[in-house]
Amino acid sequence: MGGIFIALIVQKFGGSSVANAERLRNVAQIVSDTYRAGSDVVVVVSAQGDTTDDLIAKAAEIAVKPPKREMDMLLAAGEEISISLLAMAINEAGIPAVSLLGWQAGFQTDSKYGAARIKSIQTDRVHLELSRKHVVIVAGFQGLCKYDDITTLGRGGSDTSAVALAAALHADKCQIFTDVDGVYTADPRKIEGAKKLSAITYDEMLELATLGAQVLNNRSVEMAKKYRVELEVLSSLAGGKVPGTIVKEVVMEKMLVRGVTKDTDTARISVIGVSDVPGVAYQIFSKLAAKGINVDIILQSIGRNGTKDISFTVGIGHANEAKEILGKLDILTNLDVVLDTNVAKVSVVGAGMETHPGTASKMFEALYSEDINIQMIATSEIKISVLIKADAADRAVSAVHRAFFS
């Protein structure tokens, strides 16, 4: 006969779930219930409510471009508040809990301040606390780099902290508690008739998250897929009693479209009349890549009279820098580099479209019915994205969602 099996569960709670004393007590209740049911529990938390935004606003009062290192030092403070308060709330509920900052929990990252990547997690301290029968509360979104500086993982990074920790601890479960009770076919706060999904594949969730669905950070999904961490997204307000959405490798029921999403965090750059000779695209995109600028949809016109046009999209945060880089390229001298930030990307995602023709035409018909013009189109096996005017984005998502789900 073997010993008693004790499950290890990682539970992550987002900012709204820990926003005030009442919410913290609610989370303490969920964690206590899990602990009393006999599991080891590791909890990852975000900063309370709008704390991170408020800290960013404070920095803006002092400096236009604060040093990134100091920004990380500042932002990491948000999670320090929530972990300690939650540990107190759990202790109040009669269960021993200990809070740990990212570095105490062994999170080692690279030194890209503001967008650090987790390199490894030394789990000794967490294991030690678990062996003492403590609930371990870990600050999400932060780690330590090789210079012994605090780093942060980028907005929404606590999801990634939770999944990484679940992978490092070989946890039996990773539950992501948030303010909605699962992943929906579109943002349930904005789109009428959005439906809750019982399950979604890693690949579909990765596309949705990358294309604008905020509910999970895309890097957390990437990591979950890589280390086969099964995720459950569920509501903290329902006390963990309503089943949420499972994110996993294979979902039996293949849906033509699993979800519709929009991304307004995008900009389009166009260069008109570049020479139609080999190497132009290479010169443009290698310069952008060298600066770490990610390019998304690329469109090149056919050559006519020795020239062609090239347009592409970048994240809005990189738009000005990208434009400047192109402005300095010899091959583009005397050409207009046009930047348009008034655009949005609307996407449909679903593994089923791979085997079913007609998804694109259905999406385009829905846009046409709303008189919305498509500027660019990009497809992969499981997604179709279109670039449209930003002010039409909500209308577009509603129309496309209706076409597939009503």
- Applying CB under 6 A, the span of 64-72, 177-185, 297-305, 387-395 interacting with ligand ADP comes to 177-185
Residue with tokens 């479960």: 173
Q: Is 214 in the site for ligand ADP (CB under 6 A)?
A: yes
The two three-digit tokens of residue 173, written as one number? 């479960």
35 binds, among ligand ASP, Mg ion, ligand ADP, none (CB under 5 to 8 A by kind): none
Q: Scan residues 3-22 and list those touching ligand ASP (CB under 6 A).
A: 14-15
The secondary structure of residue 111, as a DSSP letter, is S
Which one of residues 49, 106, 140, 212 is an interface residue with ligand ASP (CB under 6 A)?
140
Q: Is 49 in the site for ligand ASP (CB under 6 A)?
A: no
Q: Can you tell me the distance from the alpha carbon of 134 to that of 95, in angstroms, rounded to the nearest whole number?
A: 8
Q: Confirm if 137 and 97 have CB atoms less than 8 A apart.
A: yes
Q: How far is the CB of 87 from ligand ASP (least distance, A)?
A: 17
Strands 142-144 and 199-201: unpaired
Q: Is 16 in the site for ligand ADP (CB under 6 A)?
A: yes
| Count of residues near ligand ASP by CB under 6 A | 12
Q: Can you tell me the distance from the alpha carbon of 117 to that of 168, in angstroms, rounded to the nearest whole number?
A: 15
188 binds, among ligand ADP, ligand ASP, Mg ion, none (CB under 5 to 8 A by kind): ligand ADP
Q: Can you tell me the distance from the alpha carbon of 205 to that of 230, in angstroms, rounded to the nearest whole number?
A: 12
183 binds, among Mg ion, ligand ADP, ligand ASP, none (CB under 5 to 8 A by kind): ligand ADP
Which one of residues 102, 140, 143, 156 is an interface residue with Mg ion (CB under 5 A)?
156
Q: Scan residues 172-201 and list those touching ligand ASP (CB under 6 A).
A: none
Q: Is 143 in the site for ligand ASP (CB under 6 A)?
A: no
Q: Is 332 in the site for ligand ADP (CB under 6 A)?
A: no
Q: Confirm if 101 and 80 have CB atoms less than 8 A apart.
A: yes
Q: Is 102 in the site for ligand ASP (CB under 6 A)?
A: no
Say how many Å lie between the first and final Cα of the chain, rounded. Answer: 54
Q: Is 155 in the site for ligand ASP (CB under 6 A)?
A: yes
Q: Confirm if 125 and 63 have CB atoms less than 8 A apart.
A: no
The secondary structure of residue 373, as a DSSP letter, is P
Which one of residues 66, 114, 188, 352 is an interface residue with ligand ADP (CB under 6 A)?
188
- Return the bridge partners of 263, or none: 345
Q: How many residues does the chain have?
A: 406
155 binds, among ligand ADP, Mg ion, ligand ASP, none (CB under 5 to 8 A by kind): ligand ASP
Number of H helices, E strands in the chain: 11, 20
- Return the bridge partners of 348, or none: 260, 384
Q: How far is the CB of 136 from ligand ADP (least distance, A)?
A: 20
Q: How far is the CB of 365 from Mg ion (least distance, A)?
A: 33
Q: Confirm if 234 and 179 have CB atoms less than 8 A apart.
A: no
Q: Can you tell me the distance from the alpha carbon of 406 to that of 404, in angstroms, rounded to the nearest whole number?
A: 6
Is the CB of 217 or the CB of 347 nearer to ligand ASP?
217
Which one of residues 78, 143, 240, 244 is an interface residue with ligand ASP (CB under 6 A)?
78
Q: Can you tell me the distance from the alpha carbon of 159 to that of 221, in angstroms, rounded to the nearest whole number?
A: 9
- Applying CB under 6 A, the span of 44-52, 272-280, 285-293, 346-354 interacting with ligand ASP comes to 44-52
Amino acid occupying residue 310: I
Q: Which residues of this chain interact with Mg ion, rule CB under 5 A?
A: 14, 156
Q: Which residues of this chain interact with ligand ASP, rule CB under 6 A?
A: 14-15, 46-47, 52, 78, 140-141, 155-158
